Amino acid sequence: MEVVAVSGQKLSTAHADPAPGRSSAPWEDELTGLPSRAMLARWLDDRTGQRAAPGQRIGLCSVDLDGFRQINALLGFGAGDRFLAAVAARLRTALEPGGHLLARTGGDEFAVLVDYGGDAGDSGSGGG
């Protein structure tokens, strides 16, 4: 099993099957509609494991919202959930043109995966 560290936490690349009657579980975060930590792990496994294309290049960026707990403490969990959904929507919009994968990996954590393609010599591709 291959393990990848993201924000000091480990992502298992084991693939869980969706629960009966729930086609998106566990692949989609219920609050934001983004891919889940499990989907992130599957995506990483596909691009770094034995199925990876020769010369495959990917980038990983972790986004942690500092001070998020204060929103929940001061305004309540409903406001916190609306804030997270709004952040997810803005990140999705900003990343849409590049075809990057945006996932919610934890309470106030997101990950952006950039697939640069297979040509390791082309440093200008996939920057966006």
DSSP state of 16: P
DSSP letters for 44-99: HHHHHSTTPPTT-EEEEEEEE-TTHHHHHHHH-HHHHHHHHHHHHHHHHHHHGGGT
Residue 127 in tokens: 């920057």
Supply the pTM of this predicted model.
0.69
The tokens describing 107, both together, are 């309470």
- How confident is the model at residue 23, as a pLDDT? 52
pLDDT tens, the chain, 128 aa long: 233 334 344 444 344 444 445 455 589 999 999 999 999 999 888 888 777 778 778 889 999 999 999 999 999 999 999 999 999 999 999 988 777 899 999 999 999 998 887 654 444 444 44
Cβ distance 33 to 88 under 8 Å? yes
Top CATH class of 29-49+56-116 equals alpha beta
| Mean pLDDT for all residues in the chain | 77
